[in-house]
Amino acid sequence: MKNTLIQAVALLLASFNALHAADSRPTNIVFIMADDLGWRDLGCFGSTYHQTPNLDRLAARGVKFTQAYAANPLCSPTRSSILTGLWPARTGITAPVCHLPEVVLEKRLAKGNPKTRVLVAQSVTRLSTDYLTLPEILREAGYATGHFGKWHLGKAPHSPREHGFDVDFPAWPGPGPAGSYIAPWAPAFPQQGKLGEHIEDTTAEAAAQFIRQHRDEPFFLNYWLWSVHAPYDAKDELVAKYRALADPANPQRNAVYAAMVQSLDEAVGRVLTALDECGLTEKTAIVFFSDNGGVSWDDKAGKGHKSVRFQADMTSPPTSNLPLRNGKASLYEGGVREPCIVVWPGITKPGTTDDTIIQSVDWLPTLLDIAGVPLPQKVKPDGLSLAPLLRGETNKLDRKAIFTHFPHDTPASGQKPGTSVRRGDWKLIRLFANEPNGSDTLELFNLRDDVGESKNLAGDKPELVRELNALIDTFLEQTDAVIPKLNPAFQAAASAVPEKNADPLQGWVARNAKAVVSNGILTLTGQGAAPFLGIGGGGAQGPIKLQLRARCAQGGAGKLEWIPAGKTQTDALSVPFQLAGGDWEELTATIPADALPGIIRVYLPAQQQDVEVDSIELQTTGKPRRWDF
C-alpha cells in the first residue's frame, strides 16, 4: 500500500514537473515573409479581389500594423536587414544581386563610362558571415532553426547553413523558383516535384514537417515564400476561378497574380494547421511580412509582365497598391509599405490594429525579446524591439525617424538613386544629383493628408526640408553609405542619339523584339517568344568572350548562342546566363576555343520585360569588337 502511494505521488510530481517545464519553455517563433506582396493584397488589408482566408484568420488572432516598412524597396536588402537588424546602407547590400557569380563584400560606387551621368552603388553580393545573425543567436540559446523557401543572400559559404540555420530547404540560392512555380522545375533545382506540383505546396509541407519534428523543443521557423515574385505562373484551376471574378473597374484584377496570392495563403494555412495539430498554436509567436511592395507599374501593363503560360491574362499590372504611389523598386510608399501581422499568444490583443511606424530592422531585437534571449553585446541593431509595444507597456516607440537608402536607378518603376526619411507624418525623399546642374532633388510629403504622395510641399516648407535633409546627412554618415554622385567623366556627346542615316544597332539585328536606341542605351521590347540580338561571327576563332552590360526590372534567364560557320539553326550551341534585375550588371559568357561561329545571338528576357543594353563586347584572340550604343 505504502509503495503504491509513493508511486502515485511520484507520478503526480512527474506530471507537475512536465507541465511546469512545458509552460516555461521559450516561445516558438515562426517568421513568414512573402516576396513582392503589396500593402493591399490581402483581404484583411483591404483587397476585394484576392481571397486570403488563412491570413485573415491570422490577423483576427493578433495585431495588424498598418505602417510597417521594408528597409529597401527590393528583396535581398530587406532580407539582410531582418537577419542582422542593420540598415542595408550599413551592410552595403542595396540591390537584389546576391545570386551573381562575383563575390563582392565591400561596398563602393560602380564603375561608370562617358555615357553614365550619375555613378550609382555597386551592391555587396553576399551577406557576410562576419555578422552575428538572428538564427545564430537563437540557436546558441537552444532553439532549433530552419529556413524554408527563398534565400537570395548568397550560396555557400554564405548560405543559410553558415548563418545559423540547422535546416535549409530547398537549398537554392537563386532569386526565384527554378523556371516556374509548377513542376517540372529546372534540372539544377535541388527538388524535383511531380508534374503539376506547386513549389509553394512543397515548401510549406517541408516547413510543416519541421514543426512536427521539433514539437518538443523551442524552434525558429523562417519561411520566406517564393510567392508572389515573377515568373507569373499559377495553378490552372485558380487562374480560371479569378478570371470569372475579375472586375474591370477594380484596379486589382490580374487573375494570374490573384491565383498566386491564393497559393501563398494556402501555404501559410499548411503551417498554421501543423501548429494546431501539434498543440503549439498558443505557444508560438508568428510574424507575417513582405520584403517590398507589389509590382504595380502602370506604364508596363501588358509589356513588362507577360507570363509564358498566361499571356492573355497579363494585360494589367500584377497588382495595384492604391492609394499608395508606385510599387516595387520605388522609394514611394507603394514600394516600401508592407502588410504586417503579429500574433504573440497571451500578449497581443486579438483583432487589433496599430498605426505605429515600424521597419524590418526591428525584427531582430523584437524576436529576441519575445524569445527571452538577451541581445549579445557585440550586436548593435539599428532597429528597436517592438515587444514593449506588443505588451502594452507603451504606445510609442522611442524613435526619431526611419530611413530607406536606395542608391540605384530602376527604369521600370522610374526610380532614381535616392534616400528617404520618415519622421512622424512627414517624409522627405532626396534624389541624388538629379537636377540638370547636378544638385539633389528634394520631395516633401505629408502622409497623413496625402498618403498617395501627390503634392510635393518642399517649396512651401523650406525649414522642415532642411531639418529632414540634415537627418539624412547624419544617417548617411553614420552608416558609411555609398552615395551616388555625378560622373566626372560624363560626356553628353557620348550619349547622343546617332545620326538618322547611321545604323543605331551598329550591325546587330533584333528578332522577335523591337529595339530602340536612345541616349546611348539600346532598349529591347519582346514581341515574340524568344527575343534576341544577332550578328555575324566575323570570322573570329574561339575562345570568344561576351561581355554584356545590361539591366531589367525583374531579371531572368538569357543565353549566348552561336551557330557554327556553315551550319544551320539545328546545330546551334549555347551557354546560359542570368540577369538579376534592378541595377546595371556586367555579365560574361564564353564561346569555347574550338568554335568558329558563323552567327552569334544574345537571347535576353525581353518577353517578360524591357531589357536595356548599355554595351556589348566580344573579346577574341584578335582585335575585340565593341558596341557602345
Domain boundaries, the chain: 28-91+130-372, 405-486, 496-628
Question: Closest by alpha carbon to 606, among 300, 271, 164?
Answer: 300
Percentage of residues of the chain with pLDDT beyond 90: 64
Give the mean model confidence (pLDDT) for residues 522-541: 83
Stated as kind and residue range, the H or E segment containing 509 is strand 509-511
CATH fold label, 405-486:
Arylsulfatase, C-terminal domain (3.30.1120)
pLDDT at 490: 84
Same fold, 405-486 and 496-628: no
Instruction: Please report, for residues 305, 345, 349, the alpha-carbon distance to residue 526 in angstroms, rounded to integers and kept in the order given.
Output: 11, 50, 51
pLDDT at 356: 97
Model confidence at 56: pLDDT above 60: yes
Q: Which CATH class is domain 496-628?
A: mainly beta
Model confidence at 154: pLDDT above 60: yes
When pLDDT is cut at 50, 70 and 90, the band that residue 151 belongs to is: very high
243: burial class by Cβ within 10 Å (0-12, 13-18, 19+)? middle
pLDDT at 5: 44
Model confidence at 551: pLDDT above 90: no
pLDDT digits 0-9 by tens, 2-36: 455 445 434 444 443 444 444 578 999 999 999 99
Confirm or reject CATH 3.40.720.10 for domain 28-91+130-372, answering yes or no.
yes
When pLDDT is cut at 50, 70 and 90, the band that residue 340 belongs to is: very high
Cell numbers 529632414: residue: 468
pLDDT digits 0-9 by tens, 406-442: 999 988 888 999 999 999 999 999 999 999 888 999 9
Q: Are strands 426-431 and 121-122 parallel, antiparallel or unpaired?
A: unpaired
Give the mean model confidence (pLDDT) for residues 135-154: 97
pLDDT at 555: 82
Crossing angle for the helix pair 236-245 and 255-277, to the nearest 10 degrees: 120
Cβ-based neighbours of 422, under 8 Å, separated by 6 or more: 69, 357, 401, 402, 403, 447
pLDDT at 322: 95
For 533, the grid coordinates are: 540580338
Give the mean model confidence (pLDDT) for residues 150-161: 96
When pLDDT is cut at 50, 70 and 90, the band that residue 289 belongs to is: very high
pLDDT at 401: 97
Give the mean model confidence (pLDDT) for residues 478-505: 75
pLDDT at 429: 98
64: burial class by Cβ within 10 Å (0-12, 13-18, 19+)? buried
pLDDT at 497: 46
Model confidence at 43: pLDDT above 80: yes
Model confidence at 500: pLDDT above 70: no
pLDDT at 494: 52
Give the mean model confidence (pLDDT) for residues 442-454: 96
pLDDT at 6: 44
Question: Closest by alpha carbon to 126, among 96, 85, 149?
Answer: 96
Question: Closest by alpha carbon to 365, among 397, 332, 322?
Answer: 397
pLDDT at 198: 95
Please tell me the least confidently modeled range out of 49-63, 146-160, 191-205.
191-205
Extract the runs of DSSP E, i.e. beta strands, from 336-425: 337-343, 352-359, 402-406, 418-423
- Per the prediction, the chain carries an average pLDDT of 89
Give the mean model confidence (pLDDT) for residues 297-313: 58
